[in-house]
Each structure stands twice: as structure tokens, then as C-alpha cells.
Amino acid sequence: MHVDAVIFGGGVAGLWTLDRLVRQGCHAVLLESRALGFGQTVASQGIIHGGMKYSLHGWLSKSAQHIRKMPEIWQQALLGRTAPNLTNTRLRSPACYLWQTESLASMAGMLGARIGLQVTPEPVPDDDRPAVFAQVTGSLSRLPEQVIDPASFLTDLAAQHRDRLLLIDPSDDGLRFELTSPGEVIRIHLTCPETGKTLSLKPEQVLLTAGAGNARLRKLVGLSADVMQRRPLHMVLARGDLPELHGHCIDGLKTRVTVTSTVDNDNRMVWQIGGQVAEDGVRMTPQQLTDHAARELQAVLPQLDFTNVEWSSYTIDRAEAQTEGNTRPETIQVLCAGNVTTGWPTKLALAPLLAEEMAARVQPIVAEANRIMQPLIAWPKPPVAEYAWNETERAWWPVDLAPRQFAPQRRAA
């Protein structure tokens, strides 16, 4: 089957790119080896960042410049005014709260967050404060950065392009590339993981948007995998008697904690907790991290009682193009070789920017009369990935927040 583009990876980047290509008249298909959004997309907190966290030092960084337009782009899509139409994507919250410690560094950071951004913090009057912030002594602002439900987004776009999504077997038996030279793919041979049927795709362009999976895919098409880096995070989960909350606590030039919330399959409130806590947690065991996270939350949200809360954690690698010193890239990364384009969005919010760049490499060459769809329609479809907090085998545990007692020191007479 001749196609204009084959996309590998069914996360936010791949699905947005697929939608963009279809709307510009291309014959494109998307291949996913596990579940839509598996890995980074469903592990994300769903915040459509507008650059605030990258401008806390007081000037508009390159990261902030590239991301500052994203909330408006996403908002127009969520309202159905622009493509892709995301009116069936669930919005967890239209905004995040921003609160701070009383340190001078925090105050300077909050001032810096207002510089040059299209999405800026709006002070919340004391008499309008939600109960969760009743004992927070620092300032409180409302930041118009949307929080989406990532699984809802995946379901929304998957429903619009279902016939173009294929579940594949990523093993050597299920996936084979035919090359003329490194980075020049002439055919992709697939074997159906359920029926054993085969399908041969002849792509004009191959687009890799598979996150960490890009490394193996690049090897299969004869390209180096050393161009990719991984930066780990150790995220915290809390469930139980908790209020709904979406926001960041700012301490100096860092986000001390970032909290987003939703309900699980049993209608219990669940918090995802990231920020500096998740960065520090890479060096901790799950129990050490949840103990640390609980004490951090107790310090920045003293109003709350965490007595009847259970805790868990999960790890995720942020896959990106290699940078000097393994630092966070400032924006999307795109690498081109032959007819293979590899892309990483860096942040969920930047998926529209990456899709625009990737789609620019593809032209609608395959004639409408040659667009055979029946083999694609009959092929198995990938499901949407499950959230970590809904995993039936996940372990949860309590955290003892009682004041720590220290035994008196005994000295020899």
C-alpha cells in the first residue's frame, strides 16, 4: 500500500501530527506497538504550560518564548474553533493556582513570571481564596493554563482517525524495514499480532514520534540512537480525602510542588504530584519519596489533613534529543535523515508546534484513487493506555506524618 506518511508512536505528538497530515490532504497511517499514550502522554499531568515556570528568573527565556502561545492554541482547539477539533477532550481545569512561600526569592520569581508572557498570573483576593489555601501565608494567583485529561484527548483524536490507527507487533517477526540506505525506507512490512496477516506499506515519509521508542526505531532504519537522551522523573500519587487542586507552589526559582487532580475508577480523588519533588525523587526509594512529598505538601498547604490519604509513586523517562550536559531542551527537536524524520515535543503543550514541523516534511503525493483503506480498517486498533492510579496491581501505603522524635544524646561523665 502506497502512503504519503507512516507515523510511529500514538502519543500526543503522533496523533496531533496525524490529524494535521489528514487535514492537509495526505494519506497517512499511525502505528502503535502498545497503547495510545503509553509512556509520557498518560504519565503527564496534562498542564498546557504557557511559559511561567521558565521565566521565574526575571527574563523571558527561549523556553518561555517558544511555549507562551500554546495555551491559546490549545484553547481554540478545545472550543472547536481550530483543528484539531478537541471538543470531546475533557478539561480538568481551565486554570492553575500559583502560590508561593514568603521568601524574598519567591517574591522575585513571581514578579519574573509576569514578564513577556501571554498567560500571566492574576492575583486572587483574600476573600476569594479556596479553602485549601486558608492557611497559606504567601500570595496566591490564578494562572490561565488549562489542564486537560490526557486519556480523554487520546480517545478524542483516536475516534476521529480510527481507521488510520494500527496496533503492531514491534518484534522482528512483526515489524521489518526495507532500506535502500541508512534513513531511506522504501517499505515497511507488518505482521498482524492477532491474525498473522501481513501488510506492506510503501511510505514517502516516515515520521518517528514514539518518545523513548525512537531510539530502537532509529536503529532499525540504520540511524544512530545516540542522538536521544532520557531525563527521569519519580512522580508521586496520593488518593483519599483530598480536595480538587491544580497548581504550583513556587519557592525561589523552582516549582517546589506541582499538583493536579482527578478521580480514579472508584471515584476517589487522586493527586499527581510533580515539580521539584519529582526531580529529587529520582534519588529516592518510593517510600522515601512519598514521605518527603507528604511533608512538603504539609509545609506548603498547612490547612490539609493527610491522615486518611494513601500514597504511591511511578517513574517515567522524559525522552528528548541529546543536549550538552543532559539538560532540558528549550523547545521541540526535529532530526531529518533521508525520508525519516524524528521528533520529540519536550512538553505535552508543544505538540502542535512539533506537528507543524513534522507535517511540513510531507506532501500529498498519493492520488485519491489509490488510497486503499480496507486493509487498514480490518487491522487491530490500539487501546488507550491506562493511568497509573487505575492499575489494579499498584501498591499503596500510608505515610506517618507524626512529628519525629529524637532520642537525647548521652555523654560520658
Spatial distance between the Cα atoms of 95 and 139, rounded to a whole number of angstroms: 17
Q: Is residue 351 part of a domain?
A: yes
pLDDT tens-place string over residues 40-96: 999 999 999 876 555 454 444 555 566 788 999 999 999 999 999 999 999 999 999
Q: Are the C-beta atoms of residues 292 and 277 closer than 8 Å to each other?
A: yes
Total domains, the chain? 1
For residue 104, the model assigns a pLDDT of 46
Are 223 and 182 contacting, i.e. CB atoms less than 8 angstroms apart? yes
pTM over 0.75: yes
Q: How confident is the model over 238-297, as pLDDT tens digits? A: 999 999 999 999 987 789 999 999 999 999 999 999 999 999 999 999 999 999 999 999
What's the mean pLDDT in 373-379?
Answer: 88
Residue 325 lies in a domain: yes
Residue 348 belongs to a domain with what CATH number?
3.50.50.60
Tell me whether residue 328 is in a domain: yes
- pLDDT computed for residue 64 by the predictor: 54
- pLDDT in the model for residue 371: 82
User: Contact at 8 Å (CB) between 148 and 302?
Assistant: no
Question: Is residue 33 assigned to a domain?
Answer: yes
**What are the DSSP E strand ranges found in 252-390?**
254-263, 269-274, 309-321, 333-337, 340-344
Q: Which residues form the domain of 120? A: 2-390
Residue 129 belongs to a domain? yes
Q: Which three cell numbers stand for residue 362?
A: 510531507
> Residue 71 contacts by C-beta under 8 Å, 6 or more apart in sequence?
48, 49, 50, 118, 119, 144, 145, 146, 349
Angle at 155 between CA 273 and CA 260, to 5 degrees: 15
| Terminal-residue alpha carbon distance, the chain | 89
244, 294, 307 from 241: Cα distances, Å = 10, 14, 9
In a domain, 115, yes or no: yes
184-238 confidence digits (pLDDT tens): 999 999 999 888 999 999 999 999 999 999 999 999 999 999 999 999 999 999 9
79 secondary structure, DSSP code: T
Q: How many angstroms separate the CA atoms of 144 and 96, rounded? A: 6
pLDDT band at 121 (very low <50, low <70, confident <90, very high): confident
| 78 in Cβ contact with 86 (< 8 Å) | yes
CA distance 382 to 367: 27
At 126-135, the pLDDT tens digits run 999 999 999 9
Query: Cell match 532540558: residue?
Result: 328
Neighbours of 221 (CB within 10 A): 21
Q: Provide the pLDDT confidence category of residue 138 given band limits of 50, 70 and 90.
A: confident
How high is the pLDDT of residue 409?
A: 46
Cβ atoms within 10 Å, residue 232: 13
| b/e map 158-189, b = 16+ CB within 10 Å | bebbeebbbbbbbeeebbebeeeeebbbeebe
CB 47 within 8 A of CB 262: no
With a CB cutoff of 8 Å and minimum separation 6, the contacts of 302 are: 135, 136
Give CA–CA dist 348/358, Å, rounded.
15
Residue 271 belongs to what H/E stretch?
Answer: strand 269-274
Task: Check: CB of residue 229 under 8 Å from CB of residue 238.
Answer: no
Judge residue 301's burial from the number of C-beta atoms within 10 Å of its C-beta, 0-12 exposed, 13-18 middle, 19 or more buried.
buried
DSSP-derived letter for residue 397 is B
Element housing 111 (H / E): helix 104-112
Give the residue carrying C-alpha cell 542522538: 227
Q: In this structure, what C-alpha cell is assigned to residue 411?
A: 555523654
Residue 375 confidence (pLDDT): 83
Percent of residues, the chain, with pLDDT higher than 70? 89
pLDDT category at 30 given cuts 50, 70, 90 is very high
- Residue 407 counted as domain residue: no
- Compute the residue count for the chain: 413
Confidence of residue 354 (pLDDT cuts 50, 70, 90): very high
